Amino acid sequence: MASCTWIINVLLLLTACVAVAEDAWSSSPSSLSETEREVLLSTGWWTNRYLDFYISQSPCDWVRIGCDVEGRVSSIIFDYDPLYIEDEELGKLDFSFFPYLEKLQLPNCGLKGSIPFQIGMLSNLESLSFRDNYLTDKLPSSLANLTQLLSLDISGNFLSGSIPNRLSRLKNLIYLDLNHNKLTTGTIPPSLNSYTNLNQLNLGFNKLNGFIPWELGNLNNLLTLNLANNKLAGTIPSTLGSFTYLNHLDLGFNQFNGSLDLLMANLSQLKNLAYLDLGHNKLTGLIPQGFGNLRYLAKLYLHSNNLSGVIPLELQNLSDLVKLNLGCNNLNGSIHLELGNLRKLVSLDLGHNKLTGMIPSTLGSLTELSHLNLSFNRFNGSLAIQLANLTHLMELDLAHNAFTGSLPVFKDCNILKYLDFSYNLLSGHIPVELGDCPSLVHPPVENQNKMNVRNGDMFSVGNFDGHIAYADIVRATNNFDIRYCIGIGSYGSVYEVRLPSGRTVALKKLHRLEAEEPAFDRSFEMRCMCCQI
């Protein structure tokens, strides 16, 4: 009997608490406004220099605050205000006192701590942004109560854990961005397929693992899908080909495998695609002709995979292409003349493949190019003089090929910052004009009008030949005469060397036993990282 009485008392107490809460939420606009003002002031986010003004005025007159027609706070927006809430806990603002809030946007405010569970009490909320703060801990499951939410952006924080399955209740979502966090456990929930109104889904730059659930193919209204820089693996599901309106697809920097030509049989249906990144994965096979059907593509990244075969001629159909990166694969064959039809190209990277033949003169028609990388291939023949027409070039890398003949003369190199012709079979003189390029990081000519590229100047942007460089060093030191020795250590002797270019360097010559040690070779090994540009 006593226990029954205790239960009844508890129920009565809970009923009283609910009644008090309902009274607070249904109180007159004036009393609610007064409560809202006190809660806002308690945070200290509205600085003391304005304190007297705030006390004498309604919050509706404050900066960053918006109210409805009844005078109740309906929006707190910091988006366009330069003030910065530094090193403050997000939980300092008690959201339970703002039942009519529709927009809560606090991006880039320096907020820290976790997202309070009270956030789930804002049943009228339509837009929520905590972008670019220092929030930690997990995504609270109470977010699932915000069933009116249209936009959720918590990108650029330090959130961990998994994506709660309960978030599938947010069926009205149009925009979801959890990019750049530390979501490390679990996979992408298949339940996200309930977001049938979703336009943008951004889960990139986390540590999500597992597969892409095939159920995501139900998101027929997607315009943007970004899953890049995670640990996703397996094959890319064919259901992604059902995204009729998709404009942006980024799956780069994951561990996807499978054949690209099989995948493209589905992706070729994405007629509105303008951005496609499949780089830094484990895709194999040929680059399929179907890419030629994606007529609106502006950026295509297929670099750092295991692709083979030739560059398909059909790529010439991509007349809107601005960036093309096929580097770090196993592509062979030659560059088609028709590649010169891509007149909008700003960046072209074909480096680190097995491409052969001569550089077609039609590349000189790509007058918008600012980055051109053909390094580490098997190109041969002379360099097309038409390359001198590329007056917008900032970076040109033709190193590690078998080019012969002389260098092209760049008539206008005011913006050229990086130039590498090393490890080829070039001969003749470096054009005087290259020495006048004001922006070159390492100009090939310094205080000289001419320099024969067949010397071994390892500092020259021109051709570098190790055998010739060694001969230059031997001559400069009279076969390592003791008079040029400036120091002796446990591993070798240090010599002062004046090179033909006029530079003076210190050179260490290893003792024989150390020089024969394989570990020394490995310590000087150069490695390449193929990066998106």
Asked if 236 and 216 count as a contact pair (C-beta separation under 8 A), the reply is no
- Encoded tokens for 455: 């010397």
Is 282 labelled a binding residue?
no
- Encoded tokens for 525: 């090994």
User: Of 492, 496, 517, which is closest to residue 505 (Cα–Cα)?
Assistant: 496
Give the span between the Cα atoms of 2 and 9, in whole angstroms.
11
| Single-letter amino acid code for the residue at 254 | N
Q: Which residues pair with 504 in a beta bridge?
A: 498
- Encoded tokens for 28: 């007159």
Give the span between the Cα atoms of 152 and 103, in whole angstroms.
11
Q: Which residues pair with 405 in a beta bridge?
A: 426
- Encoded tokens for 224: 């943007």
Q: Is 371 helix (H, G, I), strand (E, B) or coil?
A: strand
How far out from the chain centre does Cα 73 lie?
38
Q: Which residues pair with 126 in a beta bridge?
A: none
DSSP string, 285-299: EE--GGGGG-TT--E
DSSP string, 245-313: T--EEE--SSEEEEEHHHHHHHHTT-TT--EEE--SSEEEEE--GGGGG-TT--EEE--SSEEEEPPPG
Annotated binding site: 508
**Residue ranges of the binding site for ATP:** 508
